[in-house]
Amino acid sequence: MLSLNLTVPPDRPLAVLAVGAHPDDIEIGAGGTLLGMAESQPSLRVHYLVVTGSPDRQLEARHAASEFLPGAELSIELHDLPEGRLPARWGRVKDLLEDVAHSYAPDLIIAPQPHDAHQDHRTIAEILPTVFRDQLTLGYEIPKWDGDVGRPAMYAPMSADTVRRKVELLHKCFTSQHARDWWDDEVFRGLARLRGMECRAPYAEAFTCAKSVILAQPADPTTVRVREPQ
């Protein structure tokens, strides 16, 4: 299948916004993709936003961000909104995202997918497109009890080495989660292998994507972009 490559800006780093409702969401959903980008992008800037988390879990998130994005220009923003209650904090989540949008213009957003069964993940996915109107947004999937992995649109292939490194770092960075009955190598590797099979790769992470643009001819530099009201 013809692959689409990320168009890297010629004059500045590729700017990514990674959003998680909880510490470990970003890494479970897109850790391999982040490892791959950190390795392959000559210049990468990432703003890392996690919306809930106790002090202990925030420490884990901070550690994980640096482990999964070695060499990237990294800014980390951690909040402590109540876990499991984000639908009731809809306005606060929107404020957080709008604050990011005022100072940061990502090219790519990596965030929860809109059909996620967890209410916190889903709330973020619902608000994101009301704030960021001109970004490629990839929605990651998180395996869980609800059985909500669906039919993704985009696949990021991973090598066996990358998936091994991803799982190794998940265990290393998120020790507070080791006792959970779903936290094990087979869950992480099994989903990655399944998604890999679907895109004819050894392993993959998969994403939803509501909208993307394909350049069939060079972009017209005179195109005027109009930012819609939020």
User: Which chain residues interact with Zn ion by CB under 5 A?
Assistant: 21-22, 25
Q: Quick one: 159 or 183, whose CB is closer to Zn ion?
A: 183
Q: Identify which of residues 22 and 62 has a Cβ nearer to Zn ion in the complex.
A: 22
Q: How far apart are CA 49 and CA 103, in angstroms?
A: 13
Instruction: Starting at the earlier edge strand, list the strands of the sheet with 14-20.
Output: 73-81, 44-52, 14-20, 108-112, 136-140, 203-208, 154-158
Q: Both tokens of residue 154?
A: 């985009």
Q: How far is the CB of 21 from Zn ion (least distance, A)?
A: 5
CB of 55 to Zn ion, least distance (A): 18
Query: Which residue's C-beta sits nearest to Zn ion?
Result: 22
Residue nearer to Zn ion on the CB measure, 60 or 107: 60
Q: How far is Cα 24 from Cα 204, in angstroms, rounded to an integer? A: 18
**Least Cβ distance, residue 197 to Zn ion (angstroms):** 25
Nearer to Zn ion, 31 or 157 (CB): 31
Minimum distance from CB of 165 to Zn ion (Å)? 21
Cβ(60)–Cβ(24) below 8 Å? yes
Q: Any idea which residue has 């109540």 for tokens?
A: 82
In sign, the C-alpha dihedral spanning 148, 106, 27, 61 is negative
Closer residue to Zn ion, CB minimum distance, 15 or 127: 127
> Which two three-digit tokens encode residue 13?
């780093």
Please compute, for residue 128, the number of CA atoms within 13 A of its CA located in the half-sphere on the CB side: 29
How many whole angstroms separate alpha carbon 228 and alpha carbon 230?
Answer: 6
For residue 151, the minimal CB distance to Zn ion (Å) is 21
